[in-house]
Structure 1
Amino acid sequence: MADVMTNYKISVDEEEFTLSSQDMAALDMLELDENKFHLLQDNLAYDVAVLHSNFMDKTLSISVNGNTYEVKIADAYDQMVEKMGLLINTSQKVNEIKAPMPGLILDIMVEVGQEISEGTPLLVLSAMKMENIILSQGDGIVKSIEVKKDDAVEKGQLIIEME
């Protein structure tokens, strides 16, 4: 069985770098106590402590030799979402919901005339074998739905009009 190598994009303050699963396994690190570690790297010793962690956001606040750093970890899924442009705020009008990527409409969760608020699930879009729930970016009333279930859509295509 081939060893699958995973790359993690690590952001520390304003710096970004990539670590592979092999890099992580090769670290000369000893756990001293819960959330406290001793690390040797290039013949230098580091005392590392995890001060705070948020696994939902994949963020850590760590202390390295007394200096505090904010760390964000992006796994393969996070990197794919970023590459697909799903995290980029598009300059679409608030009253138009457009497809963020090409895909297939799996489900429409709203109806014409329905009043919705920001964060309301609007539809499910399948793209690259992943199901993406498209949420409302603001409050309003659904004026028209320009697609139906099982329709293929292109990036930027109008899918729901709001009023």
Structure 2
Amino acid sequence: MYKIKVNDTYDFDLSAANDSLQLNGEAIPVDVRELKDGHIHFLYRNKSYNAEVVSENHDDKTSVIKINGKLYEVAIEDQFDSLLKAMGMGAGSGKGAAEVKAPMPGLVLSINVTEGQEVQKGDNLLVLEAMKMENMLKSSTDGTVKKIHIVKGDKVEKNQVLIEFVS
């Protein structure tokens, strides 16, 4: 299942099944043909459309797509993006995450950062033990640690704010 936003105006839920698309619960027959040079032709409700991807930004999962000469900015979110967002670890469009939340209940084994410390995307922030497994929580963005709300040995609940970043 994908969540798609077009021009910051239209929101759709999209999934593929048996040669058709499910668009907001409505089954839509699909006839798509790939043409050369990344161009695509498709039929939708008996109308013909030509499409091409003009640009892509893989970091924020957006694309600019030209359909029959008109440009559309499209943002796509899959089930993993939804899960990360629910855990407080979603990637923002150019903005850093404001806080890191516990993705599950657990025990804080170690904290690898201090307040005021600058971190880079991918830096190790803390280790959370859950279901007898150690989970390394990493920074989803570059930023500065504003406040650490936990200490080593704390038991935390799902979605509890662990670390807050400077906005």
Task: Give TM-score, length-normalised by structure 1.
Answer: 0.64
Return 37-46 or 23-32, whichever deviates more.
Answer: 23-32
Quote the residue 2:110 is aligned against: 108
Report the RMSD for the aligned CA atoms in angstroms.
4.1
Quote the residue 2:124 is aligned against: 121
Q: Distance in 2 between matches of 1:46 and 1:147?
A: 57
Quote the residue 1:4 is aligned against: none
Quote the residue 2:95 is aligned against: none
Any idea what the Cα deviations from partners look like across 1:107-147, whole Å, max 9, x if unmatched?
535266x862144532144679995625385257x989612
Give the CA deviation at 1:75. Answer: 0.9
Given the alignment of the two structures, is residue 146 of structure 1 paired with residue 141 of structure 2, yes or no? no
Any idea what the Cα deviations from partners look like across 1:66-91, whole Å, max 9, x if unmatched?
110111111111122334454499xx
Runs (4 or more) in structure 1 with deviation over 6 Å come to 126-130
Q: Distance in 1 between matches of 2:37 and 2:103?
A: 43
Paired residues of 1:101 and 1:127 also in contact (CA < 8 A)? no
Quote the residue 1:17 is aligned against: 12
Residue type of the alignment partner of 1:147: K
Q: Distance in 2 between matches of 1:130 and 1:41?
A: 48
Identity among equivalent positions (%) equals 29
SS, match of residue 147 in structure 1: coil
Q: Distance in 1 between matches of 2:88 and 2:102?
A: 8
Unaligned 5+ residue runs, structure 1?
Answer: 1-6
Q: Return the index of the structure with the highest Cα Rg.
A: 1
Q: Distance in 1 between matches of 2:43 and 2:148?
A: 61
Given the alignment of the two structures, is residue 28 of structure 1 paired with residue 31 of structure 2, yes or no? yes
Task: Give TM-score, length-normalised by structure 2.
Answer: 0.63
Given the alignment of the two structures, is residue 75 of structure 1 paired with residue 78 of structure 2, yes or no? yes
* Alignment length (residue pairs): 144
Quote the residue 1:156 is aligned against: 160
Quote the residue 2:2 is aligned against: 8
Paired residues of 1:103 and 1:152 also in contact (CA < 8 A)? yes
